[in-house]
Structure 1
Amino acid sequence: MKRREVVKGALLAGSLAVLGLPQAQAQEAGAFVKTKRDVPRSTPGKIDVVEFFWYGCPHCFHFEPALNEWIKKLPGDVHFMKVPVRWPSNRVNFEGHQKLYFTLEALGKMPAAHAKVFDAMHKDKNPLANDNQIFDFAVSIGLNREEFANMYKSFAVSTKCAKATSLMEAYGPDGVPTLGIDGKFMTSASIAGTEENALRVADLLIKRARQG
Structure 2
Amino acid sequence: MNRRDFSAQLVGASLGGAGLGTIGLTASTGALAQGAPVEGTNYIKFAQPVSPATPGKIEVVEFFWYGCPHCNAFEPALDAWQKKLPADVVFRRVPVAFRDEPFVAHQKIFYALETLGKVDAMHRKVFYAIHSEHARLDKPDEIAAFMAKNGVDSAKFLEAYNSFSTQTKTKQAAKLAEAYKLDGVPALGINGRYFTSGSLAGTNERMLQVTDFLIQKSRTGA
Shared fold per TM-score greater than 0.5? yes
Q: TM-score scaled to structure 1, two decimals?
A: 0.90
| 2:168 is the alignment partner of 1:159 | yes
> SS in structure 2 opposite 1:5?
helix
| 183, 198, 212: which one aligns with 1:203 | 212
For residues 115-148 of structure 1, what are the alpha-carbon distances to aligned partners after superposition, in whole Å with 9 as ceiling and x for unaligned? 1100100010001132222222212212222221
| 2:82 is the alignment partner of 1:71 | yes
> SS in structure 2 opposite 1:120?
helix
| 2:26 is the alignment partner of 1:15 | no
The number of residues matched between the two structures is: 205
Paired with 1:183 and 1:3, the residues of 2 have a C-alpha distance of 22
Paired with 2:115 and 2:52, the residues of 1 have a C-alpha distance of 23
Q: What is the alpha-carbon root mean square deviation over aligned residues?
A: 1.7
C-alpha displacement at 1:37, in angstroms?
A: 4.8
> SS in structure 2 opposite 1:4?
helix
CA change 1:201–1:18 in 2 (3 A) is: farther
Q: In the alignment, residue 129 of structure 1 is paired with which amino acid?
A: D
C-alpha displacement at 1:36, in angstroms?
A: 8.6
For residues 30-58 of structure 1, what are the alpha-carbon distances to aligned partners after superposition, in whole Å with 9 as ceiling and x for unaligned? 20124595211222221110000000000
Paired with 2:34 and 2:181, the residues of 1 have a C-alpha distance of 23
Q: TM-score scaled to structure 2, two decimals?
A: 0.86
Aligned to 1:32: 43
Residues 104-113 or 53-62, more deviating: 104-113
Q: Percent identity?
A: 46
| 2:2 is the alignment partner of 1:2 | yes
Gaps of 5+ in 2: 10-22
Gaps of 5+ in 1: none
Residues 71-80 or 140-149, more deviating: 140-149
For residues 147-203 of structure 1, what are the alpha-carbon distances to aligned partners after superposition, in whole Å with 9 as ceiling and x for unaligned? 211111111211222222221111121100000111121111111111221111101
